[in-house]
Structure 1
Amino acid sequence: MSSKEKPLHSFDDSNAVLIKDHISHEETFVEVFEYAFQKLRDPWYKTFLFGIMAGFFVAIAYVIVIVALSGFIIKDSNGNLKPNGMPSGMIALITGLTFTPAILMVIFIGGTLFTSNSLTLLPIVKREAKLRRMLVNLSLVLVGNCLGALIVAISTYLMGHMKVDSEFYNAFKYIYDKKIGSSPSNLNWTVFLKNFVSGIYCNILIAGLFWMNMSVKNSATKVLLCFFVILAFGISGFQHIVANAYVWMTGLFLNNGMVGQDFGTFSIMNMLPTLLGNFIGGSVVLPMVYLLVFKKRINAEIAAGKFFKGTKL
């Protein structure tokens, strides 16, 4: 073998390129800030349509969850719904294991969730965008998310899943009642507070998941991150505004003679506190500590014109 030739198994260190499987905390936060800025720059129709698709994906995942629980929820002698000899922790585990496809579809196909878009407060705090821009963005996303959920809710009814006392119906009603308390006709402010705090913790997980995905470039790693975080979300039972939108909309098809009353109660006892909690968790509790820690880097990137081109938003 000549001196110029090298065996096939040799490794030329001079041409090696170090590929990191993740970036630093500081670099990740820069990516998060840029993500938030880009979401505010998106045209309104993209924001709205991506909101519909994300709501659609999440609602489909909720159908999967309910089908997985069907048969495990029965009525006792008093007509109350309860697990059929299954610990509540197992129901939570099934929920976590079956909800992952929703976020995977949002990440890999495309979609926008109200929860992840709560991060758009970051450019507002740094005065790089106007508050009105964020409010319009979040409103479009939220309406889109609810519309996507409504489409699947109507489909659920048309497929015959909402027949009274069917396995699907019982599993759905069990979930529905737990989200607003055992007495839907009464406004229980303890439930309101519980859902508010639960919403905060929920979006620390969900917005945090999108944040974590920006720190890695490998698709397999993204899938694993999604699996474990959504598993934790499902087990915890934390309240997610988009997931709850499907339950809220499908509740219109409950055959209980009090649909209008239940719809209003669910709006006040669950949707409102969850919405507020999700926003605070994803826009204040999670990112503001890191904005303080990495303030110098973000200020330098803003001064260099990294996040916007031309006029500010």
Structure 2
Amino acid sequence: MSDKISNLEIEINELKKHDYTLLDGEHSFMLCGTLGGFKASIKKIQYTIIKQILLGLMSGVIIGFGYIACLTVMQGLPSNLESLVLGIIFPGCIILITFLGGALFTSHSLATIPMLKGCLTFREYIKAIVSVLVGNFLGTLLFALLYVAAGGFHNTAEGSIAQKIYETGAHKLYGVADQLMGTLMWGTCAITFIYSFFSGILCNLAVSATLPLTSATKSPTSAILLLVYPILYFAIGGFQHGPANSFFMWMMLLECIFTQDWASTNQTLTPEFIHVLIFFCLSTIPTLLGNWLGGSFLMAGILHTINKKYTTLLFMKLKLEKYEKILMLTKLNKDKIELKKEEKRIKQN
């Protein structure tokens, strides 16, 4: 333990040699957002596992509300207006999640570079990002179950919202959607996997920008306006958001369990359990990988590179604070151990 304390003290002394006053001055809108975004992502990663899951669950439920609202309004609209409606309504989900303090897998990925720079341990990072993802999936599942229990399937006829949900989920499988009722071609599956992966990257280029954007201002009104456009762009573009897509996965599963009247008259698509597995393998997994890459290195990497002079200082300062906290706890533990040894020695005498 003495060696650990000595090593920590050496690290702390080295980090203290740097001048951090540069971080305290007035900065541009972009720089404030970048520094604030990285700090916010680190703070969220440090929540307990239970808190991560609960905040992720809350966010998943909000996403469920958003999708049902979008799909309800989209009923009967021309296809060229559906994306516009989605783009207008869906940003409300992210606004609610942001102001309620929710958490999404996609925004957590912004903490990857700080983790690599030593601001967080790998264990902290993995626990947080997995916990929040579990929470997101549980949230969309909870909403799906409650939606069905609240009469979501009271109308499953041709043209119902139930049919729209299933068809939208299938649509996210690109070319595979046309082969769901026939023979799947390996080439089509591979292309769908690739499309989902790169769509996930593009999605989180936009979504991960919300943390820096909201950190750039203290005005709630400005924050709301800043949140709208990144989400509007990814929604209208039809890019894939892994945690949000889980809503369709769960709903497709429930439509396989509960009889759907629309399926009896539809010759091109009927609910089958294998579709849920296909969705998970060819949409959910590659999309999550793409989301992580897009949020971890592309948007975050660009912001870090442009503002490297400041972000490097920020990471060192946060690393210093982390080491000082570890040193304090280590010394306390050492004192406790020595105290117990002393008490034991006294008792023996």
Q: What TM bracket, shorter-length normalisation?
A: 0.7 to 0.9
- In structure 2, distance between residues paired with 1:120 and 1:247: 27
The alignment partner of 1:160 has SS state of helix
- In structure 2, distance between residues paired with 1:133 and 1:32: 18
- In structure 1, distance between residues paired with 2:227 and 2:245: 19
Distance 1:47 1:120, change over 3 A: same
2:91 corresponds to: 100
Moved over 6 A (4+): none
Deviations 1:22-72 (A, max 9, x none): 943223221122112212221222111101001111111011111112234
- Residue 150 of structure 1 pairs with residue 169 of structure 2: no
1:114 corresponds to: 105
- In structure 2, distance between residues paired with 1:298 and 1:94: 38
Deviations 1:94-144 (A, max 9, x none): 111121221111111120000001112022221222222211111100100
The alignment partner of 2:95 has SS state of helix
- In structure 1, distance between residues paired with 2:251 and 2:193: 21
Deviations 1:76-100 (A, max 9, x none): xxxxxxxxxx2x3311101111212
2:203 corresponds to: 202
Distance 1:119 1:248, change over 3 A: same
1:231 corresponds to: 232
Offset of residue 296 of structure 1:
2.7
1:184 corresponds to: 180
RMSD over aligned Cα atoms = 2.1
2:3 corresponds to: none
Q: Is the 8 A contact 2:35 2:212 kept in 1?
A: no
2:272 corresponds to: 259
Q: Is the 8 A contact 2:105 2:133 kept in 1?
A: yes
- Residue 139 of structure 1 pairs with residue 165 of structure 2: no
1:80 corresponds to: none
- Residue 222 of structure 1 pairs with residue 190 of structure 2: no
Point out the structure with the larger helix share: 2
> Partner letter of residue 288 of structure 1?
G
Identify the range of structure 1 (225-234 vs 118-127) with the bigger mean alpha-carbon deviation.
225-234
- Residue 62 of structure 1 pairs with residue 67 of structure 2: yes
- In structure 1, distance between residues paired with 2:245 and 2:109: 17
Identify the range of structure 1 (90-99 vs 255-264) with the bigger mean alpha-carbon deviation.
255-264
Q: Is the 8 A contact 2:166 2:248 kept in 1?
A: no
Distance 1:182 1:59, change over 3 A: same
Identify the range of structure 1 (160-169 vs 284-293) with the bigger mean alpha-carbon deviation.
160-169
Offset of residue 286 of structure 1:
0.9
Q: Is the 8 A contact 1:69 1:171 kept in 2?
A: no
Q: Is the 8 A contact 1:191 1:269 kept in 2?
A: yes
- In structure 2, distance between residues paired with 1:168 and 1:134: 39
Larger Rg belongs to: 2
- In structure 1, distance between residues paired with 2:114 and 2:297: 12
Identify the range of structure 1 (255-264 vs 47-56) with the bigger mean alpha-carbon deviation.
255-264
- In structure 2, distance between residues paired with 1:104 and 1:249: 24
Offset of residue 260 of structure 1:
2.2
- In structure 2, distance between residues paired with 1:164 and 1:131: 50
Offset of residue 189 of structure 1:
1.6
In structure 1, runs of 5+ residues without a counterpart are 1-19, 73-85
2:281 corresponds to: 268
Offset of residue 164 of structure 1:
4.3
1:13 corresponds to: none
The alignment partner of 1:286 has SS state of helix
Distance 1:267 1:304, change over 3 A: closer
2:37 corresponds to: 32
The alignment covers a number of residue pairs equal to: 278
> Partner letter of residue 29 of structure 1?
T
2:117 corresponds to: 126
Offset of residue 291 of structure 1:
1.9
Identical counterparts, % of pairs: 26
Distance 1:45 1:226, change over 3 A: same
- In structure 1, distance between residues paired with 2:321 and 2:241: 29
Offset of residue 182 of structure 1:
2.3
Distance 1:307 1:171, change over 3 A: farther
- In structure 2, distance between residues paired with 1:65 and 1:168: 10
Distance 1:95 1:301, change over 3 A: closer
